[in-house]
Chain A
Amino acid sequence: MLKPKTLILRTAGTNCDAETDAAFQLAGAETALIHIQNLISGKVNLNDYQILAIPGGFSYGDDISAGILLAVEMKHKLTDALNRFVADGKLIIGICNGFQVLVRTGLLPGINRSGSDTPEMMQQTTLAMNTSAKFECRWVDLETEKSTCVFTKGIKEQVYLPVAHAEGRFTAPPDVLEELESNKQVVFRYAKSEYPHNPNGSDVNIAGICDPTGRIFGLMPHPERFLMKWNHPRWTRLSETERTRSEEGDGLAIFKNAVNYVKSHGK
């Protein structure tokens, strides 16, 4: 089968696009880095692609709050294209700033309240300032939840990934949190609740969530920064045999899952 086509969305301030591109290519996708101007102008059609990735960075400088300007732009200028993309059962992943964007568009968690076929695009949760009140870059232990998420199917129960953000504290009203649990939309949790294990103070240690279908996924940690085992901050502590075994990092599986899903569903 042909390689699944992945659109990696860029705009002013996007800065994790190159490594997200590398991740999808290593996973076996065909990729294109596309500036949102080209989607808005119609030069590029979103629906020619099977996967949409919104990488990390500081879109439009994170002015007002993280991800909001890009979210507004997507919501109001790409409404039809996005609705069709989602309705066709295609995949969306937002990493860090991309997760912030998805939350602010309402595509995540995307709990359907109106019974309508198209996404409601209503913001139901938020990613607030870290409780430490500063930008922090560190590696965190994650627990993989049993969720509907197609990106994390069959991956390890414990995953180690880096975070690097100032606005990553996932928070939501109690009823939304309850629904997330009952719909199996919580994908990753920080392994422990105390700082710095939960690096931002997220509610119930949530690090990543998906929509009810499991096809839209957002997370604060950066799987695209752990594609090679030597990205692990303690790889030099591994034994000689472990050091020379596989070269793959924990993060790659997420991108491979996306590629395999598209291949097997022929989307």
Chain B
Amino acid sequence: MTKPVLECENVVKELGKGAGKVRALKGVNLSLVKGELTLLMGPSGSGKTTLLSILGCILTPTSGTIRVEGEEVAGKGPEELAELRRKHIGFIFQSYNLFPTLSALENVRIALDVIGRKGYQAALRAEEVLREVGLGNRLKNYPSNLSGGEQQRVAVARAIAASPSVVLADEPTAALDSENGHAVMALLARIAKEQNRSVLAVTHDPRTLGYADRVVRIEDGLIVGEERRPQGLDAPEITDLTKRRKANA
């Protein structure tokens, strides 16, 4: 069996205090392995984003165990958690969270700078990943001059620039139109398959289903179902889309 890169066992998360305390997660178990695009789906308030934050070492669970590349997260302070994120996790956000004052290239470079990769090599790497996501001709553009789809692709490039083993995406298609949504999901599926990373995308967008290797459903803070989808990138609708995009290009 493939060794999980990110796993959680019996994770409980309580939010708020006193009478306002809410149990957002009620004992969640989940393992992510390399080479898979996993979708975490569920209605609003089901605990998707809380689980994503915990898996991304941004929030700490009230109880339960998190392991990133076999390393236990429990007991680590904010700086150690930041170091874990630097080493192993890439993030993609619903509203891109790009730096408006930096160009596409600089937005990717800053993610490398954070992990200590600086100078010419970092610039080359940033350019390389931007070309990978199809933005080789938009390197110098600022976020305000990019479409939503392009901005999300910059965010994807930023997430993978440091070669993390896990990429966590929060509603990556929510702010995109259909075509851009499909393009970003195809990109994430490719990242999982071709770069052998584990990608977890939180979504309630049914358009994304066709790209998933696995769909995990969460409701009321509990995993209520999980299905494997063998097609992944080879699914007929994705092949059709790829053909259509190539034809348009």
Partners in one complex: no
Residues of A within 8 A of B (CB): none
